[in-house]
Structure 1
């Protein structure tokens, strides 16, 4: 495993991990902030992929807990190359952009992203690779609610919030203006993949706190019509925002109305 501090540019090798002598063309980027309790599940889900021909890059966005320690322990026996870098500028947009650009600099041609509180299904990497290899510049997957965080009612509430946000996005006049090359269809930033060439061409992820997904999608829509959706590219999302905000405030957040007096990143 390699650990890097983005601010200094120093690179120091860590013992253990599944090192390879050459970079893989597909990298999976996972931004993380204070995810000690959940990132282990995410890492295990990535280790259980049917397609293990990828490099895993975790971007620690200034965690103050044991997130990095969990990554270190995982890397010692991981079936894929694992790297950990730190991004001191707060915000998921900063962490994702730094991670994607680091991967591209080190040879990545295809990029996939999930978050450190999510559980990608075993065929997630394979589905992302298949869609990009078939000609998509960007592919968006299907999201569901984690079954270990909420019961049926909570999962139904999550589906309702996502459906409302998706409908709002399609109907929003600003998303139907001239200049877009593809219709608007909501995508989850924690379940997407993109070619390195398109990421650079569209300008990349906005470097700001969440929410960033809508702005990024519109950047891509202004660059290419080659945006695909994959029903087999599945990620189970954390429902902790629903628990922290309640249904109404969660809907406001997903509709890009901000979090009001609540933290934008509940833990």
Structure 2
């Protein structure tokens, strides 16, 4: 298994260092990391290069994708990995902290026969002092969105071989073969299409070898929840029924 991890990154100089350090602390160091600089205007690329110079493991590559959008950046990174020999790809985001056993859990999932897999998304506690509702409500928001996804009309595909399963792009892994057969992430902006949902629905037409694993945990930022509020965040994940004026929320913008 030749596993690569892809991280799309846009103006993440404040957050990506912690993500890189957590990946360097994985119990299983057998992977290659590629960061896709998605037209950043800050020091994101410099932070990644400095980290790579100081940490021989994992191998870190940085590439560029000028077309703005998490879908475009993630697709570029995954296709770069596949062209370099990756047989399996995992993705997280530049504001996330994978659990130290995340890589090991990803590999176990593939060994068990899954071709696409995701796991729990929990709130980070290191960015700033979390309010009680932020600690409690992020899992609830995700569970509500997942339940909504099961029943929403857009996911009721008569050609699907299995049920819809919510798989956030920040905690996601797939085989190279399935990614290519499914057509990959749509090369879209986050405010246009939730690229993770689109790919899940493409995969559902091809196989039932996908699912969730409880031991594959990633800790995600609550910055969107704090900026949008509970109702706004739920509306954002429900097909952008709420779209804020400022999409790209960064830690420095919040109190």
TM-score, normalised on structure 2?
Answer: 0.92
1:237 aligns with: 220
Within the candidate set 49, 61, 77, 1:99 is matched to 77
1:192 aligns with: 172
Count, aligned residues? 244
What is the distance in 2 between the residues matched to 1:173 and 1:89? 30
1:247 aligns with: 230
Q: Secondary structure at the match of 2:211?
A: strand
Within the candidate set 182, 198, 202, 1:215 is matched to 198
Shift of 1:120: 0.2
Within the candidate set 86, 90, 94, 2:68 is matched to 90
Contact 2:228 2:244 in 1 (8 A): no
What is the distance in 2 between the residues matched to 1:195 and 1:212? 17
Identify, as 1 or 2, the structure richer in strand.
1
1:173 matches 2:153: yes
1:164 matches 2:144: yes
Shift of 1:196: 0.2
1:76 aligns with: 53
What is the distance in 2 between the residues matched to 1:191 and 1:27? 13
Shift of 1:258: 5.0
What is the distance in 2 between the residues matched to 1:139 and 1:94? 21
2:253 aligns with: none
Contact 2:165 2:211 in 1 (8 A): no
Contact 1:258 1:264 in 2 (8 A): no
What is the distance in 2 between the residues matched to 1:260 and 1:99? 27
What is the distance in 2 between the residues matched to 1:230 and 1:31? 23
Within the candidate set 19, 26, 35, 2:3 is matched to 26
RMSD: 1.2
1:118 matches 2:118: no
What is the distance in 2 between the residues matched to 1:166 and 1:69? 36
What is the distance in 1 between the residues matched to 2:12 and 2:147? 31
Q: Secondary structure at the match of 2:119?
A: strand
Contact 1:161 1:254 in 2 (8 A): no
TM-score, normalised on structure 1?
Answer: 0.88
1:57 aligns with: 34
1:18 aligns with: none
- Structure 2: gaps of 5 or more residues: 251-255
Shift of 1:259: 4.3
Q: Deviation above 3 Å: which 4+ runs of structure 1?
A: none
What is the distance in 1 between the residues matched to 2:241 and 2:63? 28
After superposition, the C-alpha distances for 1:108-151 in whole angstroms (9 at most, x for unaligned) are 00100000000000000110011112211101111101112423
After superposition, the C-alpha distances for 1:203-224 in whole angstroms (9 at most, x for unaligned) are 0001001122111110111111
What is the distance in 1 between the residues matched to 2:169 and 2:234? 17
- Structure 1: gaps of 5 or more residues: 1-23
Which shows bigger deviation, 208-217 or 114-123?
208-217
What is the distance in 1 between the residues matched to 2:132 and 2:100? 23
1:225 matches 2:208: yes
Which shows bigger deviation, 208-217 or 191-200?
208-217
1:4 aligns with: none
Within the candidate set 155, 176, 185, 2:135 is matched to 155
